[in-house]
């Protein structure tokens, strides 16, 4: 029989982050000593107080389907969290809990986008925004930024990129991959432009909110003129070291939340009931209980900046949050290293994989073709060894 897949899946790019992680795993299994700095995944265990809540939920016989949009008491806890951390008032009817923030984002693109719509992606941006926009039938336009502007876009750039077809814009702060944090002032400037275009929706992906090294977080939905048009996305994967538990959530205008619930009801239903019970504890306990992980990430960031700063040609900014370094490596383009011609960031990332046994992700996947992403969610010893190997290849 002819293997005939849909156009939808054939035109969909695979997730570059997951693909690189799979490649690193494959090489490791084949016996290669690979240091994988490709995946954005905390290397901590989930904190004990959260694990205990999950064990309790199992013993309390939480084993049935939950409401599609999440348990009522979890949605209450999420509303309290949004008020406490983000100064946003949401009612439980505006909350939808999903199988990771990835599903939250997929729901949004599926319920808001139509063929012909355009999505704006300030670049660099997380890989799945572009892929999910395409799955929604839309096209996307990148609004470029560079290391010189700390990877931030300006209000003027935003205004210039808007067309009559623009439906949605994605913001992500702290940013994956650049670590950039947009301040209240930055968002107010961008909001002034958006106020002139009332038909554009805003997705604010705040999943790295707690992994922030001192810049006050600000949520664009806290600006009253943006509130009715913004979907605030968050989740437990990063800040709470709970990637595999698969809890994401949104706060949104009620009509959008309802549509997301309808979409999810046909695709996955409510997410894992044990993880939801644990999420209540994670979100209700003081944020200070997870600060030890943030402090450790910050130490590693500082160490990585120092070590990588010793390599000529590697241009760095200071990431203010998340757990990635996103160096500009264009100084190496056009050179031949270890017999390999380096024409772009993908060649550079492959050079590091093949010659240094260090897995990173090419910036091309994030709309930033001069950079590579290095995750520092790994032990200090692994990070030191990785940079040593990179140095040996490049210097
Ligand atoms: N948004 C960003 C910016 C991310 O880096 C990730 C990484 N997984 C996600 C969303 C999805 O998170 P989750 O694991 O909750 O699906
Ligand atoms: N978000 C993480 C990353 O960017 C996990 C991988 C993924 O979900 O794409 O590496």
CA distance 65 to 49: 24
361 lines ligand 1 (CB under 6 A): no
Candidate from 41, 207, 349, 376 with most ligand 2 atoms within 8 A of CB, to mutate: 41
Quote the CA–CA distance of 105 and 110 in Å, as a whole number. 9
According to DSSP, the β-strands at 324-325 and 372-375 are antiparallel
What is the 285 CA–ligand 1 centroid distance (Å)? 22
220-276 pLDDT, tens digit each: 999 999 999 999 999 999 999 999 999 999 999 999 999 999 999 999 999 999 999
Mean pLDDT of 341-348: 95
CA of 207 to the centre of ligand 1 (A): 7
pLDDT in tens, 174-204: 999 999 999 999 999 999 999 999 999 999 9
Sketch the domain layout of the chain as residue ranges.
Answer: 7-45+290-394, 48-288
Cα distance between residue 163 and residue 118, in whole Å: 8
19 Cβ closer than 6 Å to some ligand 2 atom: no
Furthest-apart CA atoms within the chain: distance in Å: 62
Average pLDDT of the chain, as a whole number: 96
pLDDT, tens digit (0-9, with 9 covering 90-100), for 137-168: 999 999 999 998 999 999 999 999 999 999 99
Ligand nearest the Cα of residue 236 is: 1
Q: What are phi and psi of 167, to 5 degrees?
A: -115, -35
Residue 129, CB-side half-sphere exposure with 13 Å CA sphere = 28
* 373: three-class secondary structure by DSSP: strand
SS3 116: coil
Asked whether the beta carbons of 274 and 54 are under 8 A apart, the reply is: yes
Mutational test site, ligand 2, from 39, 43, 124, max ligand atoms within 8 Å of CB: 39
CATH architecture of 7-45+290-394: Alpha-Beta Complex (3.90)
- The domain 48-288 is placed in CATH, from the list 3.10.110.10, 3.30.70.360, 3.40.640.10, 2.30.30.40, at 3.40.640.10
Report which of 53, 118, 41 is spatially closest to residue 289, judged by C-alpha positions: 53
Burial 245-283 (b: 16+ CB within 10 A, else e): bbbbbbbbbeebbbbbbebbeeebebbbbbbbbbbbbbb
Confidence class for position 297, pLDDT limits 50, 70, 90 = very high
- What is the tens place of the pLDDT at every residue in 276-293? 999 999 999 999 999 999
Do the beta carbons of residue 262 and residue 314 sit within 8 Å? no
Which bin fits 357, alpha (ψ -120 to 50), beta or left (φ > 0)? left
d(CA 42, ligand 1 centre) in Å: 12
7-55 pLDDT tens trace: 999 989 888 888 888 888 988 899 999 999 998 899 999 999 999 999 9
Band of the pLDDT at 120, cuts 50, 70, 90?
A: very high
3-state secondary structure of 336: strand
How many other CB atoms are found less than 10 A from the CB of residue 167? Answer: 19
Looking at residue 18, what is its pLDDT? 87
Q: Is the CB of 22 under 6 A from ligand 2?
A: no
Q: Which of 175, 222, 220 is nearest to 194 (CA)?
A: 220
């Amino acid at each position: 029989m002819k293997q005939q897949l849909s156009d939808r899946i054939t035109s969909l790019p695979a997730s570059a982050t997951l693909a690189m992680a799979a490649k690193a795993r494959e090489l490791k299994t084949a016996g290669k000593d690979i240091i994988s700095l490709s995946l954005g995944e905390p290397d901590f265990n989930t904190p004990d107080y959260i694990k205990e809540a999950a064990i309790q939920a199992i013993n309390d016989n939480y084993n049935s389907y939950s409401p599609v949009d999440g348990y009522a008491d979890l949605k209450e806890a999420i509303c309290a969290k949004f008020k406490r951390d983000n100064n946003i008032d949401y009612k439980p009817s505006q909350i939808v809990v999903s199988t990771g923030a990835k599903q939250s984002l997929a729901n949004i693109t599926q319920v808001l986008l139509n063929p012909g719509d355009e999505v704006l992606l300030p670049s660099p941006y997380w890989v799945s925004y572009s892929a999910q926009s395409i799955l929604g039938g839309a096209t996307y336009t990148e609004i470029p930024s560079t290391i010189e502007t700390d990877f931030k876009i300006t209000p003027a750039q935003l205004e210039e990129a808007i067309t009559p077809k623009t439906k949605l814009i994605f913001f992500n702060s702290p940013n994956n991959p650049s670590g950039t944090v947009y301040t209240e002032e930055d968002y107010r400037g961008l909001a002034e432009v958006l106020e002139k275009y009332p038909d554009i929706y805003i997705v604010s992906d705040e999943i790295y909110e707690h992994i922030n090294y001192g810049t006050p977080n600000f949520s664009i939905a806290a600006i009253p003129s943006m509130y009715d048009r913004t979907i605030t996305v968050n989740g437990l994967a990063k800040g709470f070291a709970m990637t595999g538990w698969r809890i994401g959530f949104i706060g949104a205008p009620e009509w959008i939340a309802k549509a997301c619930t309808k979409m999810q009801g046909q695709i996955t239903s409510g997410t894992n009931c044990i993880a939801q019970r644990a999420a209540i504890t994670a979100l209700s306990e003081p944020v200070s209980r997870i600060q030890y992980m943030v402090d450790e990430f910050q130490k590693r960031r500082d160490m990585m900046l120092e070590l990588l700063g010793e390599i000529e040609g590697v241009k760095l900014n200071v990431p203010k949050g998340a757990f990635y370094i996103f160096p500009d490596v264009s100084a190496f383009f056009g050179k031949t290293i270890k017999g390999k011609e380096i024409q772009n960031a993908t060649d550079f990332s492959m050079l590091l994989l093949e010659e240094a046994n260090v897995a990173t992700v090419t910036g091309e996947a994030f709309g930033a073709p001069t950079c590579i992403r290095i995750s520092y969610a790994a032990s200090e010893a692994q990070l030191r060894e990785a940079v040593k190997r990179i140095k040996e290849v490049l210097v």
